[in-house]
């Protein structure tokens, strides 16, 4: 049976007490079921309006084809609508207004702390305001900037240094820095490394965080540039390229390797990652092979998103790797003696190569863009890599 809100089966009201309760007809903020009920209601309304919910990303909804195509992305109660036909978008907004109480903020300029700047040459996304607020809260607004996010000479360990008496400040800063990596790929490795010490942070770890804040002070408005030219035309839109790399045994505590990759659609960077591998690799070739598997998984997911956006990707994705042994293992299934200890699920790379979905090509180490996600680099090496990955700072005076 349906019980009104506040009814208690175990303790009935005493004689003389008020027995009136309020029955809840819809979920509101603050209740445990509020977010789930809102998402269910909103998704159902869109599906009834003809939208298709993406299987690759359940927050993405698409409808129509060609000039009538429209995509809707939702994060809790923040919504982004995109499409080539303004009339279709207007009709969608009218439908949403009829179903919910919404506020139309117009052309997208600010979304979840991300600033969007448009120009004839393309779009730049950054988190300048978010970065400056974080630096100000940490008391580093007047500090002297440094040229690199992490000192390559400093080796961090979970056992070296004095334990922090209050770890809350460190954890709070790392949490905010993790969100900043949405647009600041130059600090991805540094944040990934420092987040490994959140359980028991020590004084050297806090100093490394402060070093990172000084680096951010030098370029708070730095962001990603998406060129309008690189995303136009029949070929460049569906051209997928990836760079895959690994740093063998880089973790001094566990001797696990670090995976790094970055993926481009046309000339625009759309995905990147830096992550410590779950198991220890017996050789650099094995570490690179595991990084290749992670890159192929990400490419498979992006291909599914392209299908949702009705982009037919017929050409194979290109993965550049600077380890010839890993490339040969991926292409040649006869290396059983070297790979019999590797998990079977990693060998789906060979299936993708056989099916023509991907190609793995060699690249020189000095041209390996994913190197920035596997180890700390000096500014002389990091800056050229960031330029190649379309990282720009429109607020720079130079």
- pLDDT tens readout for residues 317-354: 899 999 898 888 888 766 656 666 776 767 788 888 88
The total of other beta-carbon atoms located within 10 Å of residue 159's CB is: 8
Three-state DSSP class for residue 203: helix
Phi, psi of 335, rounded to the nearest 5 degrees: -80, 55
pLDDT at 171: 93
Report pLDDT for 2: 45
Residue 196 is predicted with a pLDDT of 92
- Tell how many helices (H) and how many strands (E) occur in the chain: 11, 14
The whole-angstrom separation of Cα 391 and Cα 376 is 18
* pLDDT tens figures, 206-237: 999 999 999 999 888 899 998 877 554 444 44
Buried b (16+ CB within 10 A) or exposed e, 324-363: ebbbebbeeeebeebbeebeeebeebeebbeeebbebeeb
Domain architecture of the chain: domains with CATH:
39-105 (3.30.310), 126-218 (no CATH), 229-370+387-393 (3.30.420.10)
C-alpha to C-alpha distance for 376 and 252, rounded to whole angstroms: 14
Other residues' Cβ atoms within 10 Å of the Cβ of residue 124: 22
Q: What is the pLDDT of residue 14?
A: 64
Average pLDDT for runs of 10 along the chain of length 398 = 43 62 62 76 90 91 90 88 90 89 86 87 90 91 90 89 90 94 93 92 93 92 83 57 92 91 90 92 89 92 89 82 88 67 75 87 90 91 90 74
The residues near 108 (Cβ < 8 Å, ≥ 6 apart) are: 80, 116
Note the pLDDT of residue 10.
44
pLDDT at 67: 87
Q: Residues near 379 by Cβ (< 8 Å), separated by ≥ 6?
A: 147, 148
pLDDT at residue 172 in the model: 93
Closest CA to 64 of 78, 93, 84: 84
List Cβ neighbours of 266 (8 Å cut-off, separation of 6 or more).
227, 230, 231, 236, 237, 239
The pTM of this model reads 0.84
Dmax over CA atoms of the chain, in Å, equals 84
Provide the pLDDT for residue 256: 93
* E-state strands within 83-198: 110-111, 114-119, 122-126
Radius of gyration of the chain (CA): 25
Residue written as tokens 């290396």?
335
């Amino acid at each position: 049976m349906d019980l009104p809100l506040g009814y208690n089966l175990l303790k009935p009201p005493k004689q003389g007490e008020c027995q009136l309760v309020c029955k809840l007809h819809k979920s509101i903020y603050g209740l445990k079921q509020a977010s789930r009920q809102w998402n269910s209601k909103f998704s159902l309304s869109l599906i009834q309006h003809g939208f298709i919910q993406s299987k690759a990303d359940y927050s993405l909804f698409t409808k129509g084809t060609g000039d009538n195509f429209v995509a809707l992305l939702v994060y809790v109660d923040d919504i982004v609508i995109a499409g080539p036909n303004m009339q279709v978008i207007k009709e969608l907004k009218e439908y949403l207004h009829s179903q919910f109480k919404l506020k139309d903020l117009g052309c997208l300029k600010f979304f979840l702390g991300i600033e969007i700047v448009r120009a004839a040459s393309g779009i730049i996304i950054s988190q300048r305001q978010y970065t400056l607020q974080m630096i100000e809260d940490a008391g580093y607004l007047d500090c002297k900037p440094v040229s690199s996010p992490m000192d390559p000479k400093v080796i961090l360990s979970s056992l070296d240094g004095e334990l922090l008496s209050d770890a809350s400040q460190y954890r709070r800063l790392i949490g905010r820095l993790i969100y900043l990596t949405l647009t600041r790929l130059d600090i991805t490795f540094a944040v990934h490394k420092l987040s490994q010490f959140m359980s028991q942070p020590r004084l050297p770890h806090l100093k490394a965080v402060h070093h990172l804040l000084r680096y951010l002070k030098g370029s708070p408005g730095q962001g990603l540039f998406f060129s309008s030219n690189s995303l136009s035309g029949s070929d460049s839109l569906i051209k997928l390229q990836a760079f895959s790399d690994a740093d063998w045994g880089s973790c001094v505590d566990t001797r696990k390797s670090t995976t790094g990759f970055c993926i481009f659609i046309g000339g625009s960077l759309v995905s990147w990652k830096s992550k410590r591998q779950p198991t220890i690799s017996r050789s650099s070739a094995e570490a690179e092979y595991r990084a290749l598997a992670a890159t192929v998984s990400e490419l498979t997911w992006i291909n599914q998103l392209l299908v949702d956006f009705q982009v037919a990707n017929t050409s194979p994705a290109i993965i550049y790797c600077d380890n010839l042994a890993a490339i040969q293992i991926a292409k040649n299934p006869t290396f059983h003696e070297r790979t019999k200890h590797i998990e079977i699920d990693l060998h789906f790379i060979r299936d993708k190569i056989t099916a023509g979905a991907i190609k793995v090509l060699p690249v020189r180490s000095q041209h390996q863009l994913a190197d920035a996600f596997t180890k700390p680099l000096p500014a002389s090496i990091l800056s050229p890599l960031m330029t190649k990955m379309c990282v720009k700072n429109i607020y720079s005076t130079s």
